[in-house]
Amino acid sequence: MKKLIGIVITLLLATFGFASGTEEDAAGDVVVLDTFVRQSPMVSSVDNNQFTDLIEEKFGVEMDFTAVPSQGADEKLSLLMASGDYPSILWTAGFDRSEQARYGGQGVIIPINDLIEQYGPNIQKRLAEYPEVLRDMTNPDGTIYGLPHVEGCYHCTYSQKMWINTDWLNNLGLEMPTTTDEFADVLEAFKTQDPNGNGEADEIPLTGSVQWWHAEMWPYIMNAFVPLSYDWSQAQFVAVEDGKVYFAPTTEAWREGLAYMNGLYEDGLIDQQGLTQQQDAMRGLVSNPDEIIVGAFTAGHVGMGVSLEDRERFLNDSGDGVRYRALPPIEGPGGAQYAGYFPPAFTSISLAMTIKATDEQQLKMMEIADWIWTTEGTLTTISGPEGVGWRWAESGELGLNGEPAVYATYQHDAEAVHNRTIEAFPFWHFDLFNSWAANQDITSPDAYERFLVLETEQYEPYRPEEPVPPSLYYNSDDAQTVAQIQTELQSFVDQFAVGVISGQRDLDSEWNDYLAAFDGLRLEEYLSLVQAAYDAQQ
C-alpha cells in the first residue's frame, strides 16, 4: 500500500512539468503573432504546416496559434472574447455584422481602415474591382473591422437544386419536365413504368433529406408557387414584391403549393422518409449498389447523393454523361417559376485584430493579408505552396467557365489529412474561381466543378427579381428579437408544411387556424423589423 502511494506521488510530481504545457521562446526580432484559428479535421497540424512555414519565412514572423477544432470553435471564440482572453489576431473569426457592432462598439476589435490604406495596396485593388465586397464588409458607420473570406462559389448561389435521373427519362421516352403538371406525370411514370427495368416496382420517384445542405424536397417544389430560398438552419421565408416585404407561408400560393405536394405524397410519388431521413439514409438510397431506385432527389450538389468515386452510379448507363442532371425550376399553375437564390455575402469577417495587437503586429498582419489577397497568395492559401498545391495553367487549358484557365491545382485525393494549408481568408471571387483549370469532359472525375457550373447556368434565368439580401443588418436589440421570432416561425412553418405534405395534418380544415396562429408568433413585429432592415440596405 505504501509503495502504491509512493508511486502515485512520484507520478504526480513527474506530471507537473508535463502538465504545464509547452512554452516556446521567440527568437530575437521575429514578430510573434498570437493568433486564433479554426482547425479542420482534414488538417493534421497547424504548427507543422507548409503554409505556416511559408508565411513565417516570407514575412519574418512566428505564428503562435491557438487552434480550435472547427466543431465547437464558435463557442470557444465567444468565450475567449467574453472573458477577455483573446489573442492579438483572429484569423478565422467569422464575425457577422451584429458581432462586429458589438465587439467593435466595446472596443475589443479595432478598425483597420487606416491599415488598409497605408499597407494594403492589393487589398485596395481588389476592393476597387469588386465594390460589392467593399460594401458588404463596411459597417453602416463606415468602419471596417476585418477582411472577409471571399469565395465565389458560383454553383452555391443556386444550390437549391433538384437532380433527376436522365437515364430513366430516356428509357421512358420523357423530356425534362418544365411545369408542375409535367413533373407530377414524370414522377408517376417513374413509379409505375419500371424504368430500371428489373420487373419490380421498387422505384422511388422523389426523395430527400433533412438538416443538410438544401436536401429538403419541398423548398424546391414550393418555388413553383412562391419565391423561397430556404436554409434549414435559419429560414427567413420572406420575399419581396415592389419593395414590400411579405411572408410567403401565409399566402394562397403557399397553400396551393402544399396541396400540390400533398397530392404527390398521397399518390406515393414523394418518398415518405425523404421528409425526415438523415443524410446517410438518402445517400444509401441514391447510391444503392444493387439497383438504381431513385428517380429524383434534392441536394445542394449531386455528390451528396452519389459519390464521385462511384463512377458506375455517377455516370449514366452509356457512360457519356452524368446520370443525375439538374432539373431547372419548374413552373407552377400561377406562373411562378423561381430558383432558390443564395448570393454570397461578405458581411462576415474572417480576419480581425483585437485591441491587444501591437503596432508591429498590426503592420505585419496587414502585410500578410495584403499578400493573401493577391492571386498567388490566394492560390497558395486554398491549395498549398506553388508546385505542391497549384501551378499556373498551361496554354490550351480551359477553366470552369470554358474560357482559358489561369491556374490548376494538383490532385491529392489519396490522403485523408494533409498539412498544406490552414483555414484562412483568400480572395477567391467568381472570376478567379472560374478560371480554375478543369477537364472539360464532364465524364472525367476531375471535371466535377465544371459540371456544377454548367448545371447552375440553367438556373440563372429564374432568379427572383427582388431577392432578399443575404444578411440583413439589425441593431443588437432587434437582432435578438428577430432571432427568437424567426426560430419560432421556422419551427411552426416547417412542422405545418411537412405535416400537411405527409398527410398528418389536413390542409383544408386547419389552414385558418394556421393563419390565425401567426399573431401569437409575433409575425407583424418580425415583418416590420425585416422591412426596416431591407429598406436600409437599398
Distance, in Å, from the CA atom of 515 to the CA atom of 254, rounded to the nearest integer, reads 12
Q: Which part of the chain contacts another protein (CB under 8 A), choosing from 52-60, 333-341, 359-367, 516-524?
A: 516-524
Counting contacts by CB under 8 A, is residue 522 touching another protein?
A: yes
Distance, in Å, from the CA atom of 324 to the CA atom of 314, rounded to the nearest integer, reads 7
C-beta of residue 174 within 8 angstroms of C-beta of residue 184: no
Q: Which of residues 31-90 bind another protein (CB under 8 A)?
A: 39-42, 44-47, 66-72, 74-76, 78-79, 81-85
Count, residues near another protein per rule CB under 8 A: 106
Counting contacts by CB under 8 A, is residue 494 touching another protein?
A: yes
Q: Which of 25, 57, 128, 233 binds another protein (CB under 8 A)?
A: 233
Q: Which part of the chain contacts another protein (CB under 8 A), choosing from 177-185, 221-229, 362-370, 445-453?
A: 445-453
C-beta of residue 384 within 8 angstroms of C-beta of residue 51: yes
C-beta of residue 326 within 8 angstroms of C-beta of residue 459: yes
Min separation Cβ 457 and another protein, Å: 16
Q: Which of 212, 246, 392, 430 binds another protein (CB under 8 A)?
A: 212
Distance, in Å, from the CA atom of 215 to the CA atom of 286, rounded to the nearest integer, reads 13
Kindly state the DSSP code that residue 32 receives in the 8-state scheme.
E
Q: Return the sign of the alpha-carbon dihedral for residues 229, 235, 238, 240.
A: negative
Q: Which of residues 154-173 bind another protein (CB under 8 A)?
A: 155-156
Name the E strands within 131-213: 146-148, 150-151, 161-165, 204-207
Q: What is the largest CA-CA distance in the chain?
A: 86
Q: Which part of the chain contacts another protein (CB under 8 A), choosing from 151-159, 173-181, 248-256, 393-401?
A: 151-159
Counting contacts by CB under 8 A, is residue 22 touching another protein?
A: yes
Counting contacts by CB under 8 A, is residue 113 touching another protein?
A: no
Helices 476-501 and 252-266: angle between axes, nearest 10 degrees: 40
Q: Which of residues 259-318 bind another protein (CB under 8 A)?
A: 272-273, 275-281, 283-285, 287-289, 301, 303, 307-308, 310
For 233-269, letters b (16+ CB in 10 Å) and e give eebbbbbbeeeebbbbbeeebbbbbbebbbebbeeeb
Q: Which of 118, 198, 358, 504 binds another protein (CB under 8 A)?
A: 504
Cell numbers given for 217 = 424536397
Residue whose CB is less far from another protein, 59 or 213: 213
Residue whose CB is less far from another protein, 30 or 82: 82
Min separation Cβ 386 and another protein, Å: 19
Residue whose CB is less far from another protein, 39 or 160: 39
Min separation Cβ 283 and another protein, Å: 5
Min separation Cβ 196 and another protein, Å: 16
Q: Which of 10, 211, 528, 537 binds another protein (CB under 8 A)?
A: 211
Q: Which of 53, 182, 431, 488 binds another protein (CB under 8 A)?
A: 488
Q: Which part of the chain contacts another protein (CB under 8 A), choosing from 102-110, 174-182, 186-194, 327-335?
A: 102-110
Counting contacts by CB under 8 A, is residue 414 touching another protein?
A: no
Min separation Cβ 472 and another protein, Å: 12
Residue carrying C-alpha cell 407530377: 184
Residue whose CB is less far from another protein, 155 or 364: 155
Q: Which of 53, 62, 96, 188 binds another protein (CB under 8 A)?
A: 96
Min separation Cβ 271 and another protein, Å: 10
Min separation Cβ 179 and another protein, Å: 27
Min separation Cβ 342 and another protein, Å: 10
Distance, in Å, from the CA atom of 256 to the CA atom of 246, rounded to the nearest integer, reads 17
How many helices (H) and strands (E) the chain has is answered by 21, 15
Which one, of 330, 308, 345, lies nearest residue 181 by Cα?
Answer: 330
Q: Which of residues 363-402 bind another protein (CB under 8 A)?
A: 382
x-marked contacts with another protein along 465-484 as a string, rule CB under 8 A: -----------x--xx-xxx
Counting contacts by CB under 8 A, is residue 499 touching another protein?
A: yes
Cell numbers given for 124 = 485596395
Residues in the chain: 538
Q: CA angle, corner 165, sides to 500 and 233, nearest 5? A: 45
Distance, in Å, from the CA atom of 396 to the CA atom of 192, rounded to the nearest integer, reads 48
The string of DSSP letters for 289-308 reads SS---EEEEEESSGGGTS-T
